[in-house]
Amino acid sequence: MQSTAAMSSTPPNPDWIAAGRSHLWRPYCQMLTASPALPMVATRGSRLRLADGRELIDGVASWWTACHGYNHPRIRDAVRAQLDAMPHVMFGGLTHEPAARLAGRLAELLPGDLDRVFFSDSGSVAVEVAMKMAIQFFGNGGERGRDRILAFRGGYHGDTLATMAVCDPEEGMHARFRGVLAEQPIAALPRDGADTDALDALLAREGHRIAAILVEPLVQGAGGMLFHDAAVLQRLRERADRHGCLLIFDEVFTGFGRTGALFACEAARVLPDIVTLSKALTGGTMALAATVATTRVFERFLSDDPGHALMHGPTFMANPLACAAANASLDLFAAEPRLAQAAAVGETMRAGLAPLAEQPGVREVRVRGAIGVLEFERLDDLDAIKARFVEAGVFVRPFGRIVYLTPALTIPSDELQTLLAAVREVCGSIARKPAARSTADQG
Ligand X SMILES: *Cc1c(COP(=O)(O)O)cnc(C)c1O
Told to check if 164 binds ligand X by CB under 6 A, we report: no
In angstroms, the CA 103 to CA 288 distance is 12
In angstroms, the CA 419 to CA 33 distance is 27
Among 42, 78, 127, 409, binds ligand X (CB under 6 A): 127
Give the nearer residue to ligand X in terms of CB position, either 27 or 141: 27
Judge whether 279 counts as a catalytic residue: yes
Closest approach, Cβ 158 to ligand X, in A, equals: 4
Among 120, 122, 327, 406, binds ligand X (CB under 6 A): 122
Helix (H) / strand (E) element for 288: namely none
Give DSSP secondary structure letters for 41-100: EEEEBTEEEETTS-EEEESSHHHHT-TT-BT-HHHHHHHHHHHHH-S---SSS---HHHH
Give the nearer residue to ligand X in terms of CB position, either 127 or 210: 127
Do the beta carbons of residue 47 and residue 55 sit within 8 Å? Answer: yes
Give the nearer residue to ligand X in terms of CB position, either 159 or 441: 159
Binding mask 165-204 for ligand X (x = CB under 6 A): ----------------------------------------
Do the beta carbons of residue 284 and residue 67 sit within 8 Å? Answer: yes
In angstroms, the CA 242 to CA 245 distance is 8
In angstroms, the CA 126 to CA 143 distance is 24
DSSP secondary structure letter of residue 291: E
Closest approach, Cβ 220 to ligand X, in A, equals: 8
Told to check if 157 binds ligand X by CB under 6 A, we report: yes
Using DSSP's 3-state secondary structure scheme, residue 122 falls into coil
List the one residue out of 147, 182, 185 whose CA is nearest residue 163: 182
- Give the interface segment with ligand X, choosing from 203-211, 216-224, 374-382, 391-399 (CB under 6 A): 216-224
Type of residue at 76? R
List the one residue out of 274, 263, 203, 260 whose CA is nearest residue 409: 260
Told to check if 216 binds ligand X by CB under 6 A, we report: yes
Judge whether 250 counts as a catalytic residue: yes
Closest approach, Cβ 216 to ligand X, in A, equals: 5
- Give the interface segment with ligand X, choosing from 86-94, 156-164, 296-304, 378-386 (CB under 6 A): 156-164
Give the nearer residue to ligand X in terms of CB position, either 156 or 263: 156
- Give the interface segment with ligand X, choosing from 49-57, 116-124, 297-305, 312-320 (CB under 6 A): 116-124
CA separation (Å) from 409 to 109, 283, 324?
19, 11, 21
Of residues 279, 383, 386, 441, which has the active-site annotation? 279
Told to check if 221 binds ligand X by CB under 6 A, we report: yes
Of residues 121, 159, 250, 441, which has the active-site annotation? 250
- A 10 A CB-CB count for 43 gives 18
Binding mask 382-411 for ligand X (x = CB under 6 A): ------------------------------
Site for ligand X in 239-298 (CB under 6 A): 250, 252-253, 278-279
Give the nearer residue to ligand X in terms of CB position, either 120 or 136: 120
Closest approach, Cβ 251 to ligand X, in A, equals: 7
Told to check if 128 binds ligand X by CB under 6 A, we report: no
Cβ-in-10-Å burial (0-12, 13-18, 19+) of 131 comes to buried
Judge whether 28 counts as a catalytic residue: yes
Closest approach, Cβ 289 to ligand X, in A, equals: 6
Among 66, 173, 222, 353, binds ligand X (CB under 6 A): 222
Give the nearer residue to ligand X in terms of CB position, either 251 or 383: 251
Closest approach, Cβ 252 to ligand X, in A, equals: 4
Give the nearer residue to ligand X in terms of CB position, either 47 or 157: 157
State the angle between helix axes of 413-432 and 382-391 in degrees (0 to 180), rounded to the nearest 10: 140
Helix (H) / strand (E) element for 427: namely helix 413-432
Using DSSP's 3-state secondary structure scheme, residue 135 falls into helix
DSSP secondary structure letter of residue 273: S
Give the nearer residue to ligand X in terms of CB position, either 102 or 286: 286
Phi, psi values for residue 229, rounded to 5°:
-105, 175
Judge whether 386 counts as a catalytic residue: no
Of residues 58, 70, 121, 156, which has the active-site annotation? 156
Give the nearer residue to ligand X in terms of CB position, either 216 or 441: 216
**Nearest residue (beta carbon) to ligand X:** 123
CA separation (Å) from 278 to 23, 66, 94, 177?
28, 12, 22, 25
Active-site residues, by number, are: 28, 156, 250, 279
Residues that bind ligand X in the complex, under the rule CB under 6 A: 122-124, 127, 156-158, 216, 221-222, 250, 252-253, 278-279
